[in-house]
Amino acid sequence: MQYQFLGIGYLTWITFLPIVGMIVVLLIPRGNANSMKWTALAVTVLQLVVAGLIWMNFKPALTGINDPSGFQFIEKAKWIDLPGVAWFGHVSIDYFLGIDGLSLPMIVLTALISFVGVIASWNINKSQKGYFALYLLLDTGMMGVFVALDMFLFYVFWEIMLLPMYFLIGIWGGPRREYAAIKFFLYTLFGSVLILLVMLALYFSVSIKDPATGQMMHTFDMLAMMNPQNYDPNSLLGGIGTYWRYVAFIALFIGFAIKVPIFPFHTWLPDAHVEAPTAISVILAGVLLKMGTYGLLRISFPIFPDIMLKSAYPLAILGFINIVYGALCAMAQTDFKKMIAYSSISHMGVVLLGISALNSQGMAGGVFQMFNHGVVTAMLFLIVGVIYDRAHTRDMNSFGGLANQMPVYTGIMTVAFFAAIGLPGLNEFVSELFSYLGAFAAFRWVAIFSSIGIVLTAGYMLWALQRVFLGQLPDKWKGLPDINGRELVALVPLMVVVILLGVLPSIMLHPMNATLNHLVNFVHSVGAGMTAAK
């Protein structure tokens, strides 16, 4: 195998480096907090380096999605192989990793946000050992979701990420942390159960020939699940557009929708964000939300293309609701962090709108928006964190005039806010533009109504900017120091990405293009073929 280091593939490295770091952190004696921080930082920097290596060696022309030869950096090994377990039959689960143009941006995003998150965690002063150990475990879970190609493995990583998140919010969070943590945990677990059920249904419906023995066996291989030929005709999910395929699609959709979050499954998000420490908010909004849409694109779309084609319109309408509803709710908030949380809901609606269009511009816009929103919203949460660390309040109405008190901070904030508004020259403009263009070609009226969100976003963002940064500075904030070096180290790389991708979006669009076009073609051709065959 190519792309190895010490005989271990790049993807394994990038996924399990944090676990190594976690073990190191656990071995460091209590009280030596600095070594823990530096270990975590070193691990995430290494992870970023590996992500860079993957980026440089990535071949943009290859496709992926359902085509094993289109995947890159593949690692495949038998993981669990039990010849016969009662009625379950031959259990064979692979350690199957690989990436295509859909996972590449997510890997880079995860590495970048994890690195930024460590810097934002620098002033955690409550049981650092537990914090950094859990943080790194979370990192592995997130990365694993984006590289796994075996559905069982995907599910394992999906669940791995859940537990550290629960503790990170529940122990290091704000005053209502326990409520928020339990809400997050139960809500996500509820979604996980649905995903698990669908996974098992798929497992028992799909059979492939065991390459070793030549016998037919069930599999968790996602790629095999995408091939309609592999479905047993009489199985639960066999056939085309059947009742049970709809049920499975909807169950899977709810599982992922909770993560995105899509209206009406979104109310865990504002609570979790408000209570979570800054770094965890950054991870939550920067990476975790993308898992939902990633799951839709990686699993729901290609495994259920027949249902997907029928559901495109409702999905777009949900995207519209997210955009407008999220924006209106954001406008009513006075808590800075809660406003940003609702703005995430609105911006993730754009992703949904774009990908449901099922054309190359919408798909490119949607996936690009996933990346861009990750970067921009991470900046926004860091910005709130900076101010909260100093003032210990997030009530926007109690601020004002910070522009004069903290000029550098205000400059960086302006870039992030304008990116969220969708200003040209900054990254979200391009992704929103493409999402809307795609949606307009597919469902004109949904796109037109969604564009109300463009005005509303400008409204709540500029209003927030005015309340916090413009006007007269209240006397009590006269002593606030400007942004410090550590905070700059976290914010400046993100700002560079925001501007760079705004001016040269093809850096990111180019490697995604072949894969996303392949996905669109695949959904259309297989879905249409299946519907026609019926």
Please give the Cα distance from 291 to 207 (Å, whole number).
27
Encoding tokens for residue 121?
């965690």
Q: Looking only at residues 315 through 354 of this chain, which bind other proteins when binding is defined by CB under 8 A?
A: 325, 328-329, 331-333
Provide, rounded to whole angstroms, the least separation between the CB of residue 150 and other proteins.
28
Look at the alpha carbons of 419, 422, 424, 426 in this order and tell me if their dihedral is positive or negative.
Answer: positive
Stretch of residues binding other proteins (CB under 8 A), selected from 7-15, 140-148, 191-199, 513-521: 513-521
Query: 11 or 274: whose CB is closer to other proteins?
Result: 274
Pairwise CA distance, residues 146 & 143, whole Å: 5
Figure out which of the listed residues 423, 480, 489, 500 binds other proteins, where binding follows CB under 8 A.
Answer: 423
Nearer to other proteins, 31 or 264 (CB): 264
Q: Which is nearer to other proteins, 470 or 489 (CB)?
A: 470
Measured over the CA atoms of residue 148, residue 298, residue 419 and residue 392, the dihedral's sign is negative
Closest CA to 3 of 97, 79, 68, 143: 97
DSSP state for residue 29 in the 8-state scheme: P
Please say which residue, 144 or 362, places its beta carbon nearer to other proteins.
362
Cα Rg of the chain, angstroms: 23
Closest CA to 379 of 335, 346, 411: 411
Query: What is the smallest separation between the CB atom of 421 and other proteins, expressed in angstroms?
Result: 8
Q: Which stretch binds other proteins (CB under 8 A): 98-106, 206-214, 225-233, 259-267?
A: 259-267
Of 159-178, binders to other proteins (CB under 8 A) are none
Q: Is 505 in the site for other proteins (CB under 8 A)?
A: yes
Rounded to the nearest 10 degrees, the angle between the axes of helix 427-442 and helix 407-421 is 10
Query: Does residue 447 touch other proteins according to CB under 8 A?
Result: yes
Among 454, 488, 499, 500, binds other proteins (CB under 8 A): 454
User: What residues from 16 to 55 belong to the interface with other proteins (CB under 8 A)?
Assistant: none
Q: Which amino acid, 110?
A: T
The least CB distance from residue 472 to other proteins, in Å, is 6
The H or E element that residue 218 is part of is: strand 216-218
User: What residues contact residue 88 under an 8 Å CB cut-off, 6+ apart?
Assistant: none
Structure tokens at 84: 């016969």
DSSP state of 73: E
The span from the CA of 492 to the CA of 481, in Å, is: 18
Closer by beta carbon to other proteins, 198 or else 447: 447
Which is closer to other proteins, CB of 68 or CB of 401?
A: 401
Q: Judged by CB under 8 A, does residue 424 bind other proteins?
A: yes
What the block records as the tokens of 350 is 């754009």
Query: Residue 199 corresponds to which tokens in the numbers above?
Result: 């996974």
* Contacts of other proteins in 456-485 (CB under 8 A): 456, 458-459, 462-463, 466, 469-472
Tell me whether residue 284 or residue 403 sits nearer to other proteins (CB atom).
403
User: Does the footprint of other proteins cover residue 509 (CB under 8 A)?
Assistant: yes
Compute the least distance from the CB of residue 440 to other proteins, in Å: 4
d(CA 429, CA 1): 40
Tell me the C-alpha to C-alpha distance, in Å, between residue 252 and each of 159, 198, 245, 269, 523: 15, 6, 10, 19, 17
What are the φ and ψ backbone dihedral angles of 322, each rounded to 5 degrees? -55, -45
**Sole window of 30-38, 55-63, 80-88, 505-513 interacting with other proteins (rule: CB under 8 A):** 505-513
Residues that bind other proteins (CB under 8 A): 183, 186-187, 264, 266-268, 325, 328-329, 331-333, 359-361, 364, 401, 403-404, 411, 418, 423-425, 429, 433, 436-437, 440-441, 444, 447-448, 451-452, 454-456, 458-459, 462-463, 466, 469-472, 505-506, 509, 513, 517, 520-521, 524-525, 528
